C-alpha cells in the first residue's frame, strides 16, 4: 500500500511539473512577439507569410504555455510601398498563428495597421510646375516612405479565433 501511495505522489508530481501534459490556452491571452526579420511594406504583398518569435515566456494558470523563442507566422492582409507623388506606404497585418510549448498552433489577432510618411511637396510642386514652372515636374517623382517594422519591436498577439478583412 505504501508503494502505491509513493507511486501516486510521484505521478502527480510529474504531471503538475510537465506543462505538456495539461495545457489549455484560453481566448484573450496576450503573447508578446517580434518579427524575425525587418518587414518593409515595399517588399511584401497581401497573402505573404512572415515569421514571428515569442519574445518572452507566457505562463497561463501557473503553466508555461508559450516559451520565449517559440515560433509562429503572421499573415499580411494589405501592403503597399511608398507611391509616386509622395503617397505613403501602407501595411496591414491582422492575424497570426503561434506555436505553444507542445507545438500546437493557436490562432491569434495581431493588429498592425500603419501608414508611412508622405511627402506633401511631391504633390504641391508638380501642380505649380505644370501651371507655371514645367521644368520642376521632376519633383513629382518623389516617393513616399514605406512602412518598416523592425525585429526588436515587441507586438502583442491575442489568442483566440480571428476573421480576416480580405475578401476572397
pLDDT over 90 (residue 52): yes
Looking up cell 502505491 gives: 4
Task: List CB contacts of 65: < 8 A, sequence separation 6 or more.
Answer: 19, 23, 25, 29, 58, 59, 100, 101
On whether the pTM is more than 0.85, the answer is no
Q: Decide which of 40 and 121 is more confident.
A: 40
How far lies 145's CA from each of 32, 57, 87, in Å? Answer: 27, 35, 8
pLDDT over 50 (residue 8): no
Q: Given the DSSP bridges, would you call strands 90-99 and 148-149 parallel, antiparallel or unpaired?
A: unpaired
Report the pLDDT value the prediction gives residue 19, as an integer from 0 to 100.
45
What is the tens place of the pLDDT at every residue in 66-82? 999 999 999 999 888 87
Number of Cβ atoms within 10 Å of the Cβ of 125: 20
Fold of 23-159: Lipocalin (2.40.128)
% of the chain beyond a pLDDT of 70: 64
Separation of CA 167 from chain center: 20
Amino acid at each position: 500500500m505504501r508503494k502505491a501511495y509513493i507511486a501516486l505522489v510521484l505521478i502527480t508530481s510529474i504531471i503538475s511539473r510537465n506543462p505538456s501534459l495539461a495545457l489549455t490556452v484560453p481566448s484573450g491571452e496576450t503573447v508578446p512577439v517580434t518579427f524575425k526579420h525587418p518587414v518593409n511594406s515595399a517588399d511584401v504583398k497581401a497573402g505573404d507569410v512572415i515569421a514571428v518569435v515569442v519574445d518572452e515566456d507566457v505562463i497561463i494558470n501557473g503553466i508555461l504555455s508559450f516559451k520565449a523563442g517559440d515560433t509562429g507566422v503572421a499573415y499580411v492582409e494589405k501592403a503597399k510601398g511608398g507611391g509616386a507623388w509622395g503617397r505613403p506606404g501602407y501595411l496591414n497585418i491582422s492575424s497570426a498563428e503561434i506555436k505553444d510549448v507542445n507545438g500546437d498552433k493557436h490562432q491569434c489577432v495581431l493588429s498592425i495597421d500603419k501608414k508611412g510618411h508622405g511627402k506633401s511637396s511631391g504633390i504641391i510642386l508638380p501642380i505649380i510646375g505644370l501651371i507655371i514652372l514645367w521644368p520642376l515636374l521632376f519633383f513629382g517623382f518623389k516617393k513616399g516612405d514605406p512602412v518598416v517594422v523592425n525585429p526588436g519591436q515587441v507586438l502583442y498577439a491575442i489568442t483566440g479565433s480571428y476573421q480576416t478583412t480580405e475578401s476572397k
